[in-house]
Amino acid sequence: MTEGTTSAAAEGGDTLTRLEQEGEIAADYLEGLLDIADLDGDIDMDVEADRAAVSIISDSGSRDLQKLVGRDGEVLEALQELTRLAVHRETGDRSRLMLDIAGFRAKKREELTAVGVKAAEEARSTGEPVKLQPMTPFERKVVHDAIAAAGLRSESEGEEPERFVVVLPA
């Protein structure tokens, strides 16, 4: 094998290593950010659904970390994009890394799953499509997954930032 080439088997086996590397780069970047902002937090890394997942958690309560979440997760979204850019700068590859701070996304995922299940039940009982409020791509993905788990189909309609989920009856 010449330099710069890899076999398909080696490439597939390297996926986990690549995602772990993304997590390490992201953790280093975020630790630097926490130091600059003088905030306490621990970094937790994982690999979930073929993407690196990094969480910032705090033992001293999440009050300080709420500054990094912002109103309805706006600062969190921006930090996720900056972290993805930091990973891209180091690896040269586009990252799909998911960032959570103080459990915000985990809690949001639970709430959105409930929204998806309720909408699926409504579509099933009325036989009519159910249109939901506009959502971010992350929010729509969670709702689509919940609807699929409930045995129904859904699709996204509209243009950003007003894109929304429509639950289709069976």
The string of DSSP codes covering 111-133 is: HHHHHHHHHHHHHHHH-S-EEEE
Calculate the average pLDDT of the chain: 90
Average pLDDT (5-21) is: 62
Gap between the Cα atoms of 19 and 165, Å rounded: 29
The CA radius of gyration of the chain, in Å to the nearest whole number, is 19
3 state DSSP class of 98: strand
Query: pTM for this one?
Result: 0.80
Length of the chain: 170
pLDDT in tens, 46-85: 998 889 999 999 876 557 899 999 998 999 999 999 999 9
pLDDT at 13: 54
pLDDT at 6: 35
Tokens read off for 144? 């689509």
Closest to 42 in 3D by CA, of 30, 52, 53 = 30
Cβ-defined contacts of 106-111 (< 8 Å, 24+): 108/73, 108/138, 108/139, 108/142, 109/142
User: Of 3-12, 58-67, 92-101, 135-144, which range is least confident?
Assistant: 3-12
Contact 86, 29 (CB under 8 A): yes
Residue 10 has pLDDT above 50, yes or no: no
To the nearest whole percent, how much of the chain has pLDDT over 90? Answer: 79
Peptide bond into 161 cis (omega under 30): yes
Mean pLDDT of 83-89: 98
